[in-house]
Chain A
């Protein structure tokens, strides 16, 4: 939906919002999340190149969002892009803590041959650390701030979609526990 279309639906609200404290905080959060992912990119590249590329892309997107917001690019399109890109990041994060992601490498012990087929520990869900929980909370805060920048009707639709995502997370968690026998 273009900003002009938004104006047509919601004539009482401007699609481009004046720079405010909300935007300032969102800029800081987007920058913090982007830098956190940028900082983690080399480690993830060494572990699994696909995750390194993903982290670099996330960092670019989040830093790009910070720059866009800084230059008052707060159109509905930009805000929605910011929300959904962060929702994707959060979703991948939650999934990676519940199951091994497709293609994720297994683990070998020191001294063991690393040839294909000799990996003796299958890929496992990633651990939960303080740094990544910090990034998660920052991203969730950023999503909330971006929501406040949306027109009321759009915002209502987006929050409904987020609720279904949350329910999906719970269903996915239950499925992952059942599939490995942790609950029966």
Chain B
């Protein structure tokens, strides 16, 4: 017997609500905040003033090198007005101070782990390993995950206690071309928590060619570290201080998505700009979230912008685009011309790619309030040719090294979840540890080029795959040319859902280096493997990531001249 029209309508109300309400959540429409911190107490978007990270000051200098001291320590910051949040900062700063380096001049950074023995809420021991992301550092200075530095009183993986705390000197050669690098924690199994709590900072490398370009410089060259966070319920501590601790979840080890978008540590900031060109070095420090950025003026028009550099430095030529997607670890340098928007505002927005968890204001990033006066008209041009150093972007498939049988060397990296674990080609970091750090996924020869295919056959996850040491060229994405914004040297590639990306990878240097997912929750559980670049004659490099330069006891620090 069929239903009457009235019965159909009444039943439809029930069925429609039952399907639409969960489906709306799936689509991220009006998603309920899972954070216990009341939404009403969060700052309204675009009300907090923008601030750039501080610039690091060298501890000392000599003819060839700048020396820095960085103390990783807990710090109380005021991310939400009126509430203190305990973070981990380099020299007490979140983001860490920006290290400005020049090609050909070395940098040594002494990183001291002065963090608490146990995270006050999460309860883990915050051991650290500092990775300078984008640098062709020697293996022992690359932030190898298991080469960690202990806090005083912390308990190591083997159960022993570090009584004095440790430090380690990291040496950076700076022989690469100009680029935006960043240093961040890489300690095994706790990278996500450590980076989430603030252990990340910019490291900008300049060279003569890039300095000579008429691109925006100085105050018009602005680093933007974008991240997201979530807060626990506020409370007042015994000293009468109102506190809002960071909230961290693992969501079945798939990632952590916050409801507050911050830039350089400020939620949804407002930046005052002049009506001229600005260069922004956009870095995603979110531990899991990916973004699709665009810019929209208060007049309602979409603002085009130019991408001038990628992870590995300047692109051969600028690419003009209206939006781009970007995920953890990726850096894009973009130039926005505000000259047409004097007296207006321009919003940086996020049309979130799929498989992110969205909240009320995660579609917004920051606002630019455009003034009416230009105080400096110099360096206000984007040239049509940006660099002649095209060793990576000139790579072709014909350059791929051949194996003993004369076939081009092509390796596939499958990114997948297997038996509840995140893996690269079925390998986890546990396997590397169990092999006493001997297992390697590949052994390319130094100076050669290989073709690597990154495969993500899942429709449910995206992965930012980061290959240490190298720069690579994105050759094809799903058989098609790479997207406009990724036509420059890269070290992280967006492996989207059901995507296969072909890379041409050039191996300079030698030794064991990591390759891993830069969704830091995936990385910690345990989506990392390694490859070993052999010397040109096929012998193994003598520099070892675990033994060639180990962390030292803090009791030696005062006597150890930096």
Q: Which residues of A contact B (CB under 8 A)?
A: 87, 90, 93-94, 97-99, 107, 109-113, 118, 120-122, 124-125, 127-128, 133, 136-137, 140, 143-144, 147-149, 152, 155-156, 159-160, 162-163, 165-167, 169-170, 173, 176-177, 180-184
Secondary structure class of chain B's binding surface, majority of residues? loop
B38: A residues at CB distance < 8 A:
180-181
Q: Is the beta-carbon distance between B360 and A182 smaller than 8 angstroms?
A: yes
Known: A148-B2, A162-B13, A166-B13. Is A109-B250 also a contact (CB below 8 A)?
Answer: yes
A180: B residues at CB distance < 8 A:
32-33, 38-39
Q: Is the beta-carbon distance between A165 and B14 smaller than 8 angstroms?
A: yes
Cα–Cα, bound, A99→B34 (Å): 9
B17: A residues at CB distance < 8 A:
94, 165-167, 169-170, 173
Please tell me which stretch of B19-27, B266-274, B293-301 contacts chain A, meaning at least 4 of its Cβ atoms lie within 8 angstroms of it. B19-27
Q: Is the beta-carbon distance between B22 and A181 smaller than 8 angstroms?
A: no
Q: Is the beta-carbon distance between A147 and B189 smaller than 8 angstroms?
A: no
Neighbour of B10 across the interface among A98, A162, A181, CB < 8 A? A162
Please tell me which stretch of B119-127, B364-372, B465-473, B492-500 contacts chain A, meaning at least 4 of its Cβ atoms lie within 8 angstroms of it. B119-127
B1: A residues at CB distance < 8 A:
148-149
A163: B residues at CB distance < 8 A:
9-11, 13-14
B121: A residues at CB distance < 8 A:
112, 120
Cα–Cα, bound, A114→B232 (Å): 17
- Is B434 an interface position by the 8 A CB rule? no
Distance between B439 CB and nearest chain A CB, rounded to angstroms: 23
- Is B538 an interface position by the 8 A CB rule? no
List 10 extra interface pairs beyond A109-B249, A125-B34, CB under 8 A: A120-B248, A133-B19, A140-B19, A148-B1, A159-B7, A162-B13, A163-B11, A166-B14, A181-B38, A182-B30
- Is B193 an interface position by the 8 A CB rule? yes
Distance between B38 CB and nearest chain A CB, rounded to angstroms: 5
Q: Is the beta-carbon distance between B11 and A182 smaller than 8 angstroms?
A: no
Cα–Cα, bound, A39→B123 (Å): 35
Distance between B215 CB and nearest chain A CB, rounded to angstroms: 42
A110: B residues at CB distance < 8 A:
189, 250, 253, 524-525
A118: B residues at CB distance < 8 A:
123
| 25 A-B interface contacts by CB (under 8 A) | A94-B17, A94-B21, A97-B22, A98-B21, A99-B32, A107-B249, A107-B250, A109-B193, A110-B250, A112-B123, A113-B123, A118-B123, A122-B36, A125-B32, A133-B22, A155-B3, A159-B10, A160-B10, A163-B13, A165-B14, A166-B13, A169-B18, A177-B32, A181-B38, A183-B30
Cα–Cα, bound, A98→B16 (Å): 15
Distance between B223 CB and nearest chain A CB, rounded to angstroms: 30
Q: Which residue of B lies closest to A91 (CB)?
A: B18
Cα–Cα, bound, A110→B40 (Å): 31
Known: A148-B1, A163-B13. Is A155-B23 also a contact (CB below 8 A)?
Answer: no
B525: A residues at CB distance < 8 A:
110
Q: Which residue of B lies closest to A179 (CB)?
A: B32
Q: Which residue of A lies closest to B24 (CB)?
A: A173
B124: A residues at CB distance < 8 A:
109, 111-112
Neighbour of A144 across the interface among B15, B193, B232, CB < 8 A? B15
Q: Is the beta-carbon distance between B248 and A109 smaller than 8 angstroms?
A: yes
A149: B residues at CB distance < 8 A:
1
A183: B residues at CB distance < 8 A:
30
Distance between B325 CB and nearest chain A CB, rounded to angstroms: 23
Cα–Cα, bound, A112→B359 (Å): 26
Distance between A95 CB and nearest chain B CB, rounded to angstroms: 10
A137: B residues at CB distance < 8 A:
19
A147: B residues at CB distance < 8 A:
3, 7, 11
Known: A109-B193, A125-B32, A159-B11. Is A97-B247 also a contact (CB below 8 A)?
Answer: no
Distance between B259 CB and nearest chain A CB, rounded to angstroms: 9
Q: Is the beta-carbon distance between B13 and A181 smaller than 8 angstroms?
A: no
Distance between A175 CB and nearest chain B CB, rounded to angstroms: 11
Cα–Cα, bound, A119→B181 (Å): 36
Distance between A43 CB and nearest chain B CB, rounded to angstroms: 11
- Is B31 an interface position by the 8 A CB rule? yes
Q: Is the beta-carbon distance between B21 and A182 smaller than 8 angstroms?
A: no
A113: B residues at CB distance < 8 A:
123
Cα–Cα, bound, A144→B13 (Å): 12
- Is B152 an interface position by the 8 A CB rule? no
Q: Is the beta-carbon distance between B32 and A182 smaller than 8 angstroms?
A: yes
Known: A166-B17, A170-B17. Is A111-B123 also a contact (CB below 8 A)?
Answer: yes
Neighbour of A176 across the interface among B6, B32, B36, B123, CB < 8 A? B32
A97: B residues at CB distance < 8 A:
21-22, 25
Question: B residues 332-354 with Cβ under 8 Å of A?
Answer: none
B250: A residues at CB distance < 8 A:
107, 109-110
Q: Is the beta-carbon distance between B30 and A136 smaller than 8 angstroms?
A: no
A148: B residues at CB distance < 8 A:
1-3
Known: A94-B17, A120-B232. Is A111-B189 also a contact (CB below 8 A)?
Answer: yes
Cα–Cα, bound, A163→B9 (Å): 8
Distance between A89 CB and nearest chain B CB, rounded to angstroms: 10
A143: B residues at CB distance < 8 A:
11, 15
B16: A residues at CB distance < 8 A:
166
A124: B residues at CB distance < 8 A:
34, 249
Cα–Cα, bound, A7→B343 (Å): 78
